[in-house]
């Protein structure tokens, strides 16, 4: 300590060296892994929040949980200095999916905002509407079947549902369903879509098989039906739910259906994020 007081030039050199080392460490931790897609199911309690980052660093946040917990989770996967998100998507306007999004829009620069267009006059939905309107430069888009969201050269997300006006309908039944693709790997992300929507998508045909399936409605018995599991054929089913939640999610029937399908279960129930990476050929659960 005395040597630093008596030799300011040396002290300055040591300080700069430490800054350089710390900066290098931060860069090593948070630099996007070249060639890898990262899909992080954030631990936001009883709710959904999924951050997707493409190999090129394009970011898509799907839902934001019930409250400000998402603001504590995002820096852990994005890095503490990142203050922009390319696209925010709200699958449907229930509180446990959009409650944290106004805070995200207030803290991060967002370029695009996607929603299904469901009218929902709750305080959370109204607060989100205000935040979207105040976000400078954010483009609002109505998500509909047939849209393809490009997240770089090799990564895209296809909107599978809704395929009609859901503005007056029940919120869960209007949930946006996405199939995220990177090369030969894919993720099925369903919001709170019930089994009726799952069965409808099966009836339409098309490519549904996916390496990872997010269980609909936090593992509720009203979603993730046997027919859907047989159509998607996931290796892993992710359940986003809070520990000891009052809904009893995930329901035992769902866990049994997943077990019968042969898929494994990964969950945020214990308060830890569930993170996958894909190189376009293989999905790895970190």
What's the pLDDT tens digit per position in 193-208? 999 999 999 999 999 9
Can you tell me whether residue 48 is helix, strand or coil?
Answer: coil
Can you tell me whether residue 131 is helix, strand or coil?
Answer: helix
Query: What is the distance, to the nearest Å, from the Cα of residue 68 to the centroid of all Cα atoms in its chain?
Result: 15
Rounded to 10 degrees, what is the CA torsion of 285, 224, 175, 188? 30
pLDDT in tens, 120-163: 879 999 999 999 999 888 899 999 999 999 999 999 999 999 99
pLDDT at residue 33, as a whole number: 56
Neighbours of 11 (CB within 10 A): 13
pLDDT in tens, 223-246: 999 999 999 999 999 999 999 888
Residue 7 has pLDDT above 50, yes or no: no
Percent of the chain whose pLDDT exceeds 90: 81
Residue 219 has pLDDT above 80, yes or no: yes
Residue pair 141/176 in contact by the 8 Å Cβ criterion? no
d(CA 87, CA 112): 5
Query: What is the distance, to the nearest Å, from the Cα of residue 248 to the centroid of all Cα atoms in its chain?
Result: 22
d(CA 66, CA 133): 20
pLDDT at residue 227, as a whole number: 98
pLDDT in tens, 55-113: 999 999 999 999 999 999 999 999 999 999 999 999 999 999 999 999 999 999 999 99
The overall average pLDDT reported for the chain is: 88
């Amino acid at each position: 300590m005395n040597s630093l007081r008596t030799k300011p030039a040396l002290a300055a050199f040591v300080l700069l060296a430490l800054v350089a080392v710390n900066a290098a460490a931060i860069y090593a931790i948070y630099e996007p892994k070249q060639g890898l897609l990262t899909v992080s199911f954030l631990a936001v309690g009883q709710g959904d929040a999924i951050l997707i980052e493409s190999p090129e660093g394009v970011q898509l946040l799907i839902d934001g949980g019930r409250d400000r917990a998402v603001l504590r989770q995002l820096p852990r996967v994005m890095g503490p200095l990142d203050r922009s998100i390319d696209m925010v998507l709200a699958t449907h306007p229930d509180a446990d999916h959009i409650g944290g999004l106004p805070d995200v829009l207030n803290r991060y620069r967002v370029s695009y905002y996607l929603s299904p267009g469901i009218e929902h006059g709750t305080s959370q939905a109204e607060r989100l509407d205000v935040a979207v309107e105040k976000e400078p430069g954010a483009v609002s888009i109505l998500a509909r079947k047939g849209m393809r969201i490009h997240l770089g050269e090799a990564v895209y997300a296809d909107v599978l549902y809704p395929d009609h006006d859901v503005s007056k309908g029940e919120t869960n039944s209007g949930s946006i369903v996405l199939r995220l693709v990177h090369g030969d790997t894919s993720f099925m992300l369903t919001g709170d879509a019930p089994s009726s929507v799952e069965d409808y998508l099966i009836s339409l045909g098309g490519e549904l098989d996916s390496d990872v399936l997010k269980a609909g409605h936090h593992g509720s018995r009203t979603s993730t039906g046997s027919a859907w599991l047989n159509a998607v054929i996931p290796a892993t089913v992710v359940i986003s739910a809070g520990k000891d939640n009052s809904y009893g999610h995930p329901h035992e029937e769902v866990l049994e259906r997943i077990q019968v399908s042969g898929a494994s279960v990964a969950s945020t129930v214990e308060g830890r994020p569930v993170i996958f990476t894909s190189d376009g050929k293989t999905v790895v659960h970190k």
